[in-house]
Amino acid sequence: MILTLKDGSKKEFKDGMTGLEVANAISPSLGKKCLGIRFQGEVIDYREPLKEDGDFEILTKDSPEALHILNHTCAHIFAQAIKHLYPEAQFAFGPSIDEGFYYDIKLPNPISDKDFPAIEKEMHKIVESGLPLIRKDITKEEGKKIFADQEFKKTHIDELEGPLTVYEQGDFVDLCKGPHVPNTSYCKAFKLMNISGAYFHGDKTQAQLTRIYGICFFDEKSLEDYLHLLEERKSSDHRKLGKDLNIFMLSDYGPGFPFWLPDGMIFKQQLIDYWTKLHYANDYMLIQTPMILSKELWETSGHWDHYKENMYTTMIEGKEYAIKPMNCPGAIQVYKNDQHSYKELPLRYAELGFVHRHEASGALNGLFRVRAFTQDDAHTLLREDQVEEEISKLLKIYGEVYKTFGLTYHIELSTRPETGYIGKIETWNNAEDALRKCLEENGVPYKINPGDGAFYGPKLDFKLNDSLGRVWQCGTIQLDMQLPGRFDCVYVDKDGSLKTPLMIHRAIFGSLERFSGILIEHFKGVFPTWLAPKQVVILPVIDEKHGKVADEIAKVLKEAEIRAYVDHSEDKLGKKIHDWQVKKVPYTLVIGDKEAEDKSVTYRIYGHKDQVNIPLEDFKKLVLDDIKSKKLSRD
């Protein structure tokens, strides 16, 4: 087999060699560091034999995927400890996640976080034993014998096709595809974090389980840093900051339906203005489609079959309608309103569509998980030969937007779901290949997220990294080779024949609500000046004496479209300064005798102790430059 290495070179190896054997053949020192393999874009276990040509990369502790591999092993260590302490435990699934791992288990008696120290003590014994993780291929029949007393494992075996793999470590064995670190001693620094309820397969009709979350690092310092970061996140919780900063509120009269408060509306409008200018600059046409549409439309789109449980419905004159959970069928109706030629394509429709989805009450979380939100959608109808160019343009737009907010990201290519998809597999394969080719030609690194595509097509998911070390799913680009055909969308081709266009579904923020929550925590409420609801607060030292001058200054700033506010309260100056620091307003002006006399201002930047006195016109220019440049900080 021919393997293409990370540096682009190609080398021939014997068919069936494991990833570790290939790594040792390349460099024995690299083989010692090997924790996993990226083969054809997918992370696999280094113990797995390779049987075909492909791209090959060795993963070490320094690789981004290393913590996922480590945490996957720690999940097995946790399960082994549970088996020692609670022999009657039934095990479901124990994957690694973006931050750590979890394991779903069914226990004979309830446990709580008070039991964590005893479980961790048993885990430490397993780690200190340095048990090797041994990978074995087995048949379904062998699997059912191994897991004869494990009801959830047997059910899962029935759901799987082909050969199975298990991993053994000492007296514990688990059904698993991997990958895993060489032995348990790698999992030195771990902590069990919290406990919650879960259902088998996430299905409410199935058994209720106990889900325990944990986190693991290669060293104690990384664990300590992470726990410190968690404390920082608590103080940056968007629900608390949203209330303190007058951004949004929630009410028991409408769980999951957020209220935007006055300052929040200013914040939201800045995002909308930025979004609108971006789209006009990139040749999008803005549209607005109805919030309620008939059941027939959703049946045609496929949402009725695939999404009905998450849709709100209503009856109008004896006919069933649904409040839209998606904007795409509406955009298709706009396209069908006119006849189109191949010369017009691509046609780009953008919409800030207000959508509703019925989320379980237990899943609601501030602005992060709501039942009504504004989705920053766009739908592009185009020819097949235009796909790569269009996606290349989109990749640049996404990069520009996320850079504006100081957010880094990586991309995952989500492929065809195992079940519930529409269309032919060949069509799906072509769509996936088109996305993969576009990423590679643009030199954009990506990961494969198998089976997580939309029911109508594969997608590119943009995973954002915030200042608090978290990863968020926000932007998405979905290539749809199904929906236009279901609605009989056509264009007149060069030869006069009617052809069906393709559609690209695309959102950058994901939703204004969720993205706002992310930004509140990312900036910890200290927004860039252009986003801040109040940009300048003016504090007269003595209101009766300096209040009029403060109002005159505010007028000058407001005429320049700077959001200025005068605090005429009777509080003492020291309290005013403190209170507005709590509100995290970018610029605080203090107006006393000197300022009133020479028409100057004394300003202080949020988070700084220094006060600077300059002419009002100079201050106005300073703030306008800050706003125009969209600076991320005011150092």
| Catalytic residue set | 328, 357, 375, 377, 379, 459, 505
Q: Are 285 and 331 in contact (CB under 8 A)?
A: no
Q: What is the CA radius of gyration of the chain?
A: 28
Helix then strand then coil, % of the chain, to nearest 5: 40, 30, 35
Residues paired with 614 in a beta bridge: 601
**H or E segment and range at residue 552:** helix 543-559
Token duo for residue 463: 């995973």
Q: Are 34 and 46 in contact (CB under 8 A)?
A: yes
Strand, coil or helix: 599:
coil
Closest CA relative to residue 513, chosen from 355, 373, 617: 373
Q: Are 167 and 178 in contact (CB under 8 A)?
A: yes
Closest CA relative to residue 406, chosen from 464, 363, 349: 464
| CA–CA separation, 483 and 423 (whole Å) | 10
Compute φ and ψ for 632, nearest 5 degrees.
Answer: -85, -25
Q: Are 299 and 305 in contact (CB under 8 A)?
A: yes
Q: Are 606 and 584 in contact (CB under 8 A)?
A: yes
Q: Are 69 and 53 in contact (CB under 8 A)?
A: no
Asked if the peptide bond before residue 262 counts as cis, ω within 30 degrees of 0, the response is no
- Dmax over CA atoms of the chain, in Å, equals 91
Region for residue 110 given its phi and psi (left: phi exceeds 0; alpha: psi -120 to 50; beta: otherwise): beta
Q: Are strands 42-44 and 36-39 parallel, antiparallel or unpaired?
A: antiparallel
Q: Helix 425-441 vs helix 387-404: angle between axes, to the nearest 10 degrees?
A: 60
| CA–CA separation, 491 and 344 (whole Å) | 9
Token duo for residue 270: 């800045």
DSSP conformational letter for 162: S
237, 241, 273, 366, 381 from 246: Cα distances, Å:
14, 8, 20, 14, 40
Token duo for residue 381: 């109808």
Closest CA relative to residue 244, chosen from 582, 474, 494: 582
DSSP conformational letter for 510: S
| CA–CA separation, 56 and 3 (whole Å) | 6
Q: Are strands 600-605 and 612-615 parallel, antiparallel or unpaired?
A: antiparallel
19, 217, 309, 324, 357 from 291: Cα distances, Å:
52, 47, 18, 6, 12
| CA–CA separation, 256 and 387 (whole Å) | 37
Token duo for residue 189: 């620094």
| CA–CA separation, 479 and 379 (whole Å) | 10
**H or E segment and range at residue 32:** helix 28-33
Token duo for residue 60: 């070490």
| CA–CA separation, 199 and 197 (whole Å) | 7
| CA–CA separation, 295 and 275 (whole Å) | 31
